[in-house]
Each structure stands twice: as structure tokens, then as C-alpha cells.
Chain A
């Protein structure tokens, strides 16, 4: 490899690494064309892992655990956003009826499914099964592309933007030198986490058969 392309590649690496959405890790999805809709089936089991005690206890608490899926269809290689949708899934245990309930809101409608076991309910909640991601009319259908993929941003219990800090003052101790004083403005800036768990992936590219 010649030196110049290598240097350009190295210089661009940080930009490429954080460019979105092409740089997201790919998750295999099944895409179907059903009537006028393009449907996607995608499993995201990492959103609620089997050993995530916090998540599982949250489900068993009887209150809703909310999963919010943002689905954005992009044309591959062009950064053109075709369409976007939001699907909200709520999972909980009904302590009175002793069963698990998975409610899904898509296209403005709620649907409910009931499960005897938590594992089955979690599997249902973390799987987008034949979920509409676009209308067929929104995508082109030619011999050589274009190609599309779906960017999926899944949030478990999105955090409300409240000031829940409630923290205490920093211990001052007996050491009042300048070094200590400078540390009181030692900023750990950054973003507040958006949710208790975030999974951000893209699907494999797909295209419509002519």
C-alpha cells in the first residue's frame, strides 16, 4: 500500500469510526415485501439479557418496562433518510393474573400478547416481528439497486430528563492547597445516559426485487 492513501486512511479513521449510521454494527434481519409494506423481523436479545438482574426485576415489579425502538430506513451509501418509525413495547408481569403482558404500539395502535413465562415474554418484547419499516412505494425497485438498510435504536426504559442528582457535597478534608482547590471544577462533562440500556445497530442491506 502506498504511503499517501495509508496516511489519509489513518487520518480519516476517527471520523469514519464515529460516522453514522454506516459505522454501526450490523445485525442480520429478515426483510419481507408484503402487499404495500416492507416488513422486518429482527431479534435484539441484548436489550434484556438473561442475566441482567436489574432488567428482570423491573419486569417482575408489575410496572411497565418500556422498550422504545426507533426505526430509520436509509438508502445505502447515500445518507438519504427514506422514512422513520417508532415502535413502543411495554413488558410487565400482572401480579393479579400471574402472567406476563407484552403490549406493542405501532402505527398508533396498541396490541397485547400474554405469556406464561418471563423468558417467552422477553423474547417477544425484544423481537421486532414482521414490523413495518416502510411502504413499498417509498423504495425504488430497479435491476441494480438502490440498496437500503434499517438503523435501529433501541432504548430500554428511556430516562426522563429530570434532575435526579440529589448528590452531596464533596468532602473537603484538611488539605486546602491549590491542587485541591483546582479540583472542585474538574468537569466530568458528557451526556447523561439516554436509557437504562441502549442497543444501536443497523441491518444488513436489502433491496426490492424488480
Chain B
């Protein structure tokens, strides 16, 4: 054996010399395929192992590939079989999907087509509410989604959030409960229906003293209101990737407002505070039209995909409401794959409210910032405003009637698996962007008078790992930590 050179890499071994006459153990049958293919007629289709998923759903997947009683299959390599497996696996309902043939006695040209599935739980955790703030020492809750209720493809969800007693004078506990259901397809039609109900018990903080950028709870008081209501609606697929939805939300609001809420500035001057909620028991009804285009379904194949959403809400006495306003929110995102297979997503959002929307329907600064607690289940558990990176005064803003936001997200797919439990995939991501929030007309006038910016600019950035798991998407990000910490 020769000496291995000094620069040899660790573990380097010489190729041993075999017998020249030794034939490879591979025979040399000349066949275009492996020579076993033959046509088998499906005599019957049998589906085994399903419990919650309906047989109809599985048969639909088979039918779409033309696999039904009487059809012919090229055994053992029919591409449709693999496609059916992929199609069924992609639903996320199954741990194991097997499509096989079982011989029929005394027939070589016919067989039983057997689909055997092992279901996995279709319950996922949509959101986990957990955090602490200077205002509310603890808040916790969970949002759970069942994606295939009763095996009919019905989405059924429920959520709750519960906060401890806030650290303000006469503050009450905030909590919210919400259930909803959506059937994306009713019978064989393409129309979907949805409905839901909720109870929200809020102790909304409002500032009474201190500088506008001072988040300490002692500068705040709260006013209480309870919202009880529900919604129902329908959805229509205009195009395969374009859905139109419309719903009607109705709620009863019991609000207990302070007699004369006022802000006392450093000079001792009292300024009345408009809480933007009617006093006593009253109604809010909202009609919504939502248009959603999701072209990202094929982005893995095409390397690009757009997503557009437009949401128009109208509340009017003509609809039975005691508020009158219109709210428009639009969002657009475009995802593209870079040559080195990472993904870039520019995303823009904007919104405008016309009229007198209640405070809980207005745009909130915390919802725009990646580092500041936003509203959870429509409840505000923190008095912290966005961090003013540019020195434009964004940390003095809470609510507004218009906003704009632009983000750029860079995603590095780290791994992707076809596992049916545990972690399916993980992405590292980094994002950066800017946003602005504009107050209502009196607020804008006051800002102009004080020589402040009407539309201050805030900065957003985030960095973290996003895991796609059997229980849902888990984000381990810097922003997530900041939003949940009592800073």
C-alpha cells in the first residue's frame, strides 16, 4: 500500500483493487422500464382507517386523478397513485397515506384499490397569548383551530385571553372569549359560510397625566366596556385564487364612561379626552366586504407569487348601528425567490377610517410596531407606544384614523421535511420597514398647532426563526420577546 501524502484529508483511504474479472453484481437486462408493468382494472375502491375525515373527501382526491371503479391502472408505476398520495398528504389530515392494490381471487387483470390512511390530529394552536407588561403583570390565553371538524373540512376555532388586574386605579380584569366556524364549501357548491360569537370585557386605558411618551401606568385610568356579539357571512371563490367574502357583525356594547375624562398637563391645564365610545348600552353593527387574492400557492413552482387583500367595513344607522364610519384596509405582498433560493417579500399595508369609529376599531400604534405589544383579541394590555427610532414623535401616538406600513422580509429556508409530526420546516428570517400613523382631524390640528409631525415615521425590524410544526407556526423572534416583556 502506498504512503498517503502528508496533506491527506482525515479518513482518506485508497481505493482497493478488485479483480478485473469480477463482474458487478448487477445483471444487465435491457429494459426500458423494469419490465413488470401491466394494466390492472380497478374492481372496487376500499378506504380504510379514516375516522374524522370523510370518505367523500378521500374519494374526491381519487376521482380527480381518474381513479375509480372500472378505471385502469398501470401497475406498479402509475403516476396518478403517487399524485393521490401527495394530494392527500398535503391536506395535513393524515400521518400515513398508502394507496395499494389487493389481488382479486382468480383474476390477474383486476384488483381492489385500497386507500389506507392514519389520521393525525387536525387541531392546531393558532396563537398563544402569553406576556407581561407594566400595566398588566400577566396575560395569557390560547387560540385553537380545528381544520376538519366532523370530517367535513369545516374550520372550527375558539380562543380566550385573560389578564391579571391592571396596575391602575380602579382597573378591572380584561378578558375575551371567541368562537367561530367556517365551512369553505357548502355541499357541492363553491359558496362558503362562516359564523362566530364573542364576548370581550375591556378596561381600556386612557392617559390622564404625564408626557405622551411616558408609558408608566400611573399616568393612566381605565374605562370599562363589554362587547357581546356575533357575525355571519358567506364567501365566494371568484377565481381559484381570488375569494370574495362578505359578513355582518352585530354587537351590544355596555360602556361605563367616566363623568368628565380629562388630561391634566404639566401646567395643570385640563383638556377633555374623547374616549370615542358611546356611554351606556348601545349597538354596533358592521357590514364587511373582503377580497383576498392569494397567488402564492404556486410560488414554490414559479418562484414568485402575489397576495392582495382589501377589506371594507361599513357601520351605519342604516345597518342598525349607532356608529357611523367606514374603514378600509388594503394589503399587498409579493414573494419572489432569489437565484440562491432564498425568498424576498416586500409588503405594503395601508388603511383609512372615515367617520366616527369607536376607539377599539381605530388603528393602534402597537399593532403596527414589531417591538411594541399590539392588541390581542381586541384588548390592550400595555400602555407602551412604539420606540421612536427616527425622533419623529411616533412614541407619542396611540390611535389613528390612517396608517401606512412597508416591510421587506428576507427568508432563508433552513430545512423542509415531509414529516407528519413534529417540525416540518424552519426558516430564518429578517425584516425591516417603516410605518406611520395619522390621528383624526382634531388630533392632526393639535399636532400642527404644536409644531409636531402629523405623520411621524416609525421603524420596524425583526429577526428570528420560524418553525412550521404539527401544532402550528412557532416564531422565535426578537420582536416576540420585546412585545411580551414588561419593558
Contact = CB atoms under 8 A, between A and B. Distances in A.
Chain B, interface size: which category?
35 or more
B101 to A, nearest CB: 4
A12 B331 CA distance: 38
Given A188-B466, A191-B341, A32 B194 contact: no
B275 interface: no
A195 to B, nearest CB: 7
B230 interface: yes
Given A61-B100, A179-B375, A187-B296, A33 B145 contact: no
A30 B15 CA distance: 8
B406 interface: no
Interface stretch (B16-24, B201-209, B265-273, B444-452): B16-24
A82 to B, nearest CB: 13
Interface stretch (A1-9, A42-50, A160-168): A160-168
Nearest to A134: B15
A6 to B, nearest CB: 23
Interface in A184-210: 184-198, 204-210
A1 B181 CA distance: 61
A154 B288 CA distance: 51
Given A63-B99, A185-B333, A174 B77 contact: no
A62 B101 contact: yes
Contacts of B27: 111-112
Nearest to B195: A174
B75 interface: yes
Given A174-B198, A179-B376, A185-B333, A110 B235 contact: no
Given A157-B82, A160-B86, A171-B194, A110 B309 contact: no
A133 B303 CA distance: 33
A92 B99 CA distance: 12
Contacts of B78: 63
B307 to A, nearest CB: 5
Interface of B: 1-20, 22, 24-31, 33-36, 61, 75-79, 81-83, 85-87, 89-92, 95-103, 108, 111, 114, 116, 118, 126, 145, 147, 153, 155-157, 159, 178, 180-182, 184-185, 192, 194, 196-198, 229-231, 233, 235, 243, 245, 247, 249, 286, 288, 290, 292, 296-301, 307, 309, 311, 313, 329, 331, 333, 335, 341, 343, 345, 347, 349, 351, 360-361, 363-364, 367-368, 374-378, 403, 409, 411, 413, 416-418, 420, 424-425, 427, 466, 468, 473
B102 A205 contact: no
A31 B427 contact: no
A204 to B, nearest CB: 4
Nearest to B192: A169
A192 B300 contact: yes
B4 to A, nearest CB: 7
Contact of B331 (A34, A129, A168, A182): A182
Contacts of A192: 300, 416
B291 to A, nearest CB: 11
A121 to B, nearest CB: 14
Given A54-B420, A185-B309, A197-B418, A33 B98 contact: no
Chain A, interface size: which category?
35 or more
Contacts of B468: 188, 190
A176 interface: yes
| Residue of A26, A163, A171, A207 most packed against chain B (CB within 10 A) | A171
Interface in A32-74: 32-35, 37-39, 53-54, 57-58, 60-64
Q: For the complex, would chain B's binding face be called helix, strand, loop or mixed by DSSP majority?
A: strand
Contacts of A191: 300, 341, 413, 416, 425
Given A32-B18, A196-B418, A190 B147 contact: no
7 contacts: A90-B76, A171-B194, A182-B349, A187-B296, A205-B10, A205-B12, A208-B14
A22 B390 CA distance: 45
A67 B131 CA distance: 47
Contact of B301 (A96, A103, A161, A182): A161
A169 B184 contact: yes
Nearest to A159: B86
Contact of A173 (B12, B184, B196): B196
A118 interface: no
A190 B411 contact: yes
B289 to A, nearest CB: 12
Given A174-B231, A208-B15, A60 B301 contact: no
A159 B24 CA distance: 31
A61 B101 contact: yes
Contact of A169 (B235, B286, B313): B235
A161 B301 CA distance: 7
Nearest to A36: B20
Contacts of B194: 171-172
Contacts of B198: 173-175
A105 B9 CA distance: 33
Contact of B416 (A60, A132, A181, A190): A190
B2 A104 contact: no
B345 to A, nearest CB: 5
A47 to B, nearest CB: 13
Q: Which 3 A/B pairs are nearest by Cβ-Cβ distance?
A: A61-B100, A144-B5, A103-B34
Interface in A74-131: 76-77, 90, 92, 94-96, 101, 103-106, 109-112, 129-130
